[in-house]
Amino acid sequence: AELPEEDLALVRDTLDKMLKGEFTRFDVFKGPITDNQGNQILAEGESLEQIDLDGFAQFGSPCETCMYWWNENITAELPSLD
């Protein structure tokens, strides 16, 4: 499959930033982020941290944001953590 030229340019630009150390794996988790229920997960400029990516508050994690949510473009229900 072929990517549209503007998407390919974005991929190349992002890869270039990664190779220069200007883009980290946490940059993809930078706000604003909204969940599929319309709730704001992260405000503009905020970022998730490793503890947020690994943790679930339901299990006692000290994470602030945690990962028990679906992004706004996901049309699924969250599984029960019971």
What is the mean pLDDT for each group of 10 consecutive residues in the chain (82 residues)? 91 95 89 96 93 87 90 92 79
For the whole prediction, is pTM greater than 0.75? no
* Residues 55 and 24 reside in one and the same domain: no
So what's the pLDDT on residue 1?
Answer: 67
Domain holding 39, by residue range, is 31-76
So what's the pLDDT on residue 44?
Answer: 96
On whether residue 57 sits in a domain, the answer given is: yes
* Residues 22 and 37 reside in one and the same domain: no
On whether residue 35 sits in a domain, the answer given is: yes
So what's the pLDDT on residue 59?
Answer: 87
So what's the pLDDT on residue 57?
Answer: 84
On whether residue 25 sits in a domain, the answer given is: yes
Asked if residues 68 and 56 have their Cβ atoms less than 8 Å apart, the reply is yes
* Residues 67 and 42 reside in one and the same domain: yes
* Residues 60 and 71 reside in one and the same domain: yes
So what's the pLDDT on residue 32?
Answer: 96
On whether residue 8 sits in a domain, the answer given is: yes
